[in-house]
Structure 1
Amino acid sequence: MKKVTHAVIPVAGFGSRMLPLSKSIPKELLPLGRLPVIHYVIEEAIAAGIKHIVLVTHPQKQAIENYFDINVELDTALRESGKISLADNLQWLPDDVKISSIRQGKRLGLGHAVGAARPIIDGHHFAVLLPDVVIDPFKTNYAKQNLAYMTQQFLETGHSQILVDPVAEEDIHKYGVAELGEETKIYAKSQTNASLPVTGFVEKPDAKEAPSNLAVVGRYVFDCQILDYLDRTAPDKKGEIQLTDAIDALIQSAPVDVATMIGNSFDAGNMSTYLEAFNYFSEQQL
């Protein structure tokens, strides 16, 4: 099986949970310490072997495309003023990594956003990374290890992989959680990755009714057949195409695994958790 070298990052959303900050600045470009949120997500993908990153974007998010492009005027001005090192640091993307953009058009849910990348990723295995979820890049390179583990498991088994992490009982209702069998199972945090077969997902269940405490983190690895399931997925009550619905349909005909996460993740798309993440990242970079 060929390697997983493509990744989709959906960035077309309004970022309504981050208003008013995100009114004029894409939430993906808000700072975590010295770098914008999406910078860490892109670095994570590259470290895990991704070579072609597809940003599913919107006309109002052009600033994200500009961030990864070369500003010739700025580059020239920095070099002419002797700031060679700073100019070089701004061109940090490896030569063998390509970033493409494709517009989602109407914002019709995460599944719709992933499906919008079909013209570029069709025929390729690919990862999906949510841009407001950042895995701690400062502790033993866990960010690379998680995604690299998922891609390797996918190559060895052919099973799509979905990253999950145990959450506290009082927080279960905030997440989509994995269903692994008939009995409710409570998992503890581990220092090693593991893959477990999943039978479905339950969106934001009450803790007493939840099939497990394994919450979806925001990292996925798929065979391109998921695109066909997305095409057949009916809109929900809000008129949106949900990725979870397509995954549930996929599970009925093909094995899917959840991969347990090592390290910690940060929700940079919610104001309170973003502020906590900002403080942590800033302290690490002092």
Structure 2
Amino acid sequence: MKPLRKAVFPVGGLGTRFLPATKAMPKEMLPIVDRPLIQYAVDEAIEAGIEQMIFVTGRGKSAIEDHFDIAYELESTMRARGKSLDILDQTRLKPGAVAYVRQQEPMGLGHAVWCARDIIGDEPFAIFLADELMIGQPGCMKAMVEAYNRTGGNIVCGYEVPASETDRYGIISPGAVDGALVEVLGLVEKPPLGTAKSNLMIPGRYILQPEVMRVLETQEKGAGGEIQLTDAMAQLIGRQPFHAYRFAGRRFDCGDKAGYIQANLALALVREDIGPQVRDFAVKLLAER
């Protein structure tokens, strides 16, 4: 069983749900308090021991590259003014630890992942969807890697949602349960209400074997007229071990406006520097409604 060293971050989407904010700024650069969404995902990957970050970008996504690059003018000015550069440490990735691939047109998550095939090679890899903010101790991917080191094969994150929402997500058909690990017998992308085999959805965290790339090579378009990663993963079930890790932390859908606001509020409230002020304001605001 090969160790997990690489992670793919599909960041080439258009972010249409957040227009006009995302007209000129990638949705992955939207801040949660004072860190962009993509930084949370990269920090989660580093915590899990990932060594190489592969960003599948698109037109207008240069801000992501700039964020993880050296900002000479900014750093020079801060030094001249006697300011610490420690706050920028989290944005500095080691040489060779980052790669960028261009997805020329948005053809679905499966296609975005396939664009990274040459860098992935014959190794297992993780996938992070940055607009899915996963908060927990340990981090979601670290817990998944620990499970992967026991089971091998493929592991997706599983997160419980209300039955009324199962038609919005890729849903797991469960088998045997072993603590937080659930055997995956099938995957269905956005099943019609009332037909889902469980309420476990896949919230944008995956550990997959490289064979999925060969499936994606000839994968036809699925739901929404896009090449769906869920359809390709479903073909690996029965051929390789396939499990879901049931994540018990908190999930925020930051591609949704309400979810984005909720994430900002939740993370601001637990901050020692601003939490009390935000809490007082929230209480006062709610009292006025």
TM-score > 0.5 by shorter chain: yes
Over the aligned positions, Cα root-mean-square deviation in angstroms equals 2.0
Shift, 1:118, TM fit? 1.1
**1:178 pairs with 168, 172, 180, which one?**
172
Deviation of residue 258 (structure 1)? 1.1
- TM-score normalised by length of structure 1: 0.88
Q: CA deviation at 1:77?
A: 1.1
Partner secondary structure for residue 259 of structure 2? helix
Greater relative contact order, per chain length (Cα 8 Å cut-off, separation 6+): 1
Note if 1:149 corresponds to 2:143.
Answer: yes
List per-residue Cα deviations over 1:165-191 (Å, max 9, x = no partner): 11122222222210125xxx9x9xxxx
User: Between Structure 1 and Structure 2, how many residues are aligned?
Assistant: 271
Task: List 4+ stretches of structure 1 deviating above 4 A.
Answer: none
State the partner residue of 2:281: none
Task: Tell me if 1:215 matches 2:215.
Answer: no
Tell me the percent identity: 36
Q: Distance in 2 between matches of 1:97 and 1:89?
A: 22
Partner of 2:210: 224
Q: CA deviation at 1:21?
A: 1.1
Consecutive unaligned residues of structure 1, counting only runs of 5 or more, are: none
Q: Pick from 251, 256, 261 the counterpart of residue 265 of structure 1.
A: 251
Partner of 1:195: 181
- The aligned counterpart of 1:17 is 17
In 2, distance between residues paired with 1:44 and 1:193? Answer: 23
User: Is 1:26 aligned to 2:26, yes or no?
Assistant: yes
Structure 1 residue aligned with 2:269: 283
Matches within 5 A, 1:1-286: 1-83=1-83, 85=84, 87-92=85-90, 93=92, 95=94, 98-136=97-135, 139=136, 141-143=137-139, 146-181=140-175, 194-236=180-222, 238-285=224-271, 286=274
State the 1:252 CA deviation: 4.2
Find the aligned partners of 1:241 and 1:252 in 2 and give their Cα distance.
Answer: 21
Contact 2:188–2:230 (CA<8 Å) still a contact in 1?
no
Normalization by structure 2: what TM-score?
0.88
State the SS of the aligned residue for 2:122.
coil
Q: Is the 8 A contact 1:111 1:243 kept in 2?
A: yes
Q: Which runs of 5+ in 2 are unaligned?
A: 275-289
